[in-house]
Every structure is written in C-alpha cells, then in structure tokens.
Amino acid sequence: MAVELSPIDKAKFVAAKRAVDCIEDGMKLGLGTGSTAAWMVRCLAERIREEGLQVQGVPTSSRTAELARSLGVPITTLDEARWLDLTIDGADEFDPELNLIKGGGAALLQEKIVASASDQMIVITDAAKEVRQLGAFPLPVEVIPFGWKSTKTLIEELLGSMNVLSCECALRMKDGAPLLTDEANYIVDLHLKRINEPRQLSMALNQIPGVVENGLFIDICDMVIIGHGDGSVVVRDANSREIKGERVEFEPSDNVFANPED
C-alpha cells in the first residue's frame, strides 16, 4: 500500500532512494544522521530485504545505529571496517562547490570522520538546503566541556578577524542543559549569516585549543542528490561538474516506514 507523504518528505525520500541505488553488493557504507539520512537507512533496509543485498554499515551516531539495528541493516564499527566504499549523509547547507555545513543533528564529528574515511561521499538533500554562499545556517563547532567559555571567547576573537557577516555565538542547549554529543562534548553554534572564506575559517577554528571539530565539510562531498516533491531529483557531480535531472518513483511501501525515526 502506498503511503501519502508531504512534499518535503517526498523530496527527502526520492533523494535517499536515488542514492541507495548507487550501493553495490559487498560495500562498506557510512550511514549518515538526520531526517533525510533516516530515509536512506529505510530504503537500504528495503533493498536488503527484497534483494538480499550484502552490506556493512558504519553509523555516524547512536540514533542511526539504533534505527539500522531495528530495520535489520548490518552494522559494524569504523575500526572494524577500517575503510569505506561510500558514505551517504544529509547536509544543512551546500554551495555551488559542494562545500557543506553539517552538524544540525549534533553528529558532525563522527560524520566528518566517517566521510573522510570513505572513497566517496554522496549528500542527499532537498532544494531548500542549496545556497549561493554558506553561512545562513548556524555553523556548529564541537568543543570539550572543560573550559568551554574560554574556548568560546577564543572563537569570538577569531571571528572578529574573519570575513563573516556576524560573530554571534551560542552554546546549544537541550532541556535546560548543554546538549551533549555522542562523545560527551558541547556544541557552540556560530550565527555568521555569511562565510566568505570557508576553507580558511575551518582551518583557523580547528587551531583553537578546546575545539574538537567544526561543521564545515570542504572538498569531502563528491555528489549531491537534490530531491523534489514531484518525484524528480537533480544530481550534481563535483568531479565532472555534470548536473542532470532524473525522475524517481516516490511511492514508498509500508515496509519503508518500519520503526521510523522520531
């Protein structure tokens, strides 16, 4: 039985389904985190059930690991897999060069480690995430809890010398307390509005003591698949610079909705 989806969920679903079609038998996969990546895990589980696809997945968060287990997707650790064929993940923003901002789901550290240990990274997203210039979405920076206020002060001092539109920084909270990542770190969100030199900013942030990693993904993404609510997708390839439109069947079965992520 087909399930009725909202236009935004249709867009996420078709992007995820198109990306999962790139997976080949025997691959070791990085499994991203977030609402669009959750669609990918469901579509992957359906291929495993229907086709007997043999894969191993490395989740980028405890949430993704829980979802994969519940759907019967085999998972392992990055240490066991050692190197991956493909990572499929979402993004909070991407620019024309396929540079990304990630970390809205507070999983940026594991996401960047896993993506960097992969032969290829495919980003699945909807059209609203495409921007001419990064920075409208707050840039997450993962910091250790010890001395986090001093680290935040150093970040603010750095931003004063960078080519950004705003320098506002805020500790991310949850239920009245600092949000904790899977590594028990904090997230400081940088509300920059515009980032003119993302590569320079990324390198400078990671030089600050107390900063673990930042959410700028530079030269990591190989392909972006943009889903639309009418069932079409646009595929952008970073290497060939090719942009092509395709159509994807967007009527998911009930099986795809098994144990959906909240």
Q: Is 52 annotated as belonging to a binding site?
A: no
pLDDT confidence of residue 211: 98
Q: Is 184 annotated as belonging to a binding site?
A: no
pLDDT confidence of residue 107: 98
Q: Which residues of the chain have pLDDT under 70?
A: 1-3, 242, 245-247, 249-262
pLDDT confidence of residue 240: 73
Q: Which CATH number is 7-129+219-257's, of 3.40.50.1360, 3.20.20.70, 3.40.50.1010, 3.40.605.10?
A: 3.40.50.1360
Q: Is 89 annotated as belonging to a binding site?
A: yes
* Short-list 80, 142, 83, CA closest to 107: 142
Cβ partners under 8 Å of residue 176, min gap 6: none
- Give the Cα separation of 92 and 104 in Å (integer): 7
Domain ranges of the chain: 7-129+219-257, 139-214
- Cα dihedral 112, 116, 117, 123 sign: positive
In eight-state DSSP terms, residue 84 is: B
Token pair for 230: 């009418």
Q: Is 77 annotated as belonging to a binding site?
A: no
Residues marked active site are found at 111
Cβ partners under 8 Å of residue 82, min gap 6: none
Cβ partners under 8 Å of residue 142, min gap 6: 103, 108, 109, 181, 183, 185, 186, 187, 211, 212, 213, 214
Q: Is 34 annotated as belonging to a binding site?
A: yes
pLDDT confidence of residue 2: 59
Q: Is 105 annotated as belonging to a binding site?
A: yes
One-letter-per-residue 3-state SS of 30-52: EECCCHHHHHHHHHHHHHHHHHC
Does 3.30.70.260 match the CATH number of domain 139-214?
yes
Residue with tokens 């010890």: 146
pLDDT confidence of residue 249: 64
pLDDT confidence of residue 3: 67
Got the DSSP string for 134-183?
TTSS-EEEEE-STTHHHHHHHHHHHHTTSSBS--EEEE-EETTEE---TT
pLDDT confidence of residue 253: 59
pLDDT digits (tens, 9 = 90+) for 144-190: 999 999 999 999 999 999 989 999 999 999 999 999 999 999 999 99
Q: Is 102 annotated as belonging to a binding site?
A: yes
pLDDT digits (tens, 9 = 90+) for 108-119: 999 999 999 999
Cα separation values, 155 from 87, 136, 200, 207, Å: 30, 18, 14, 10
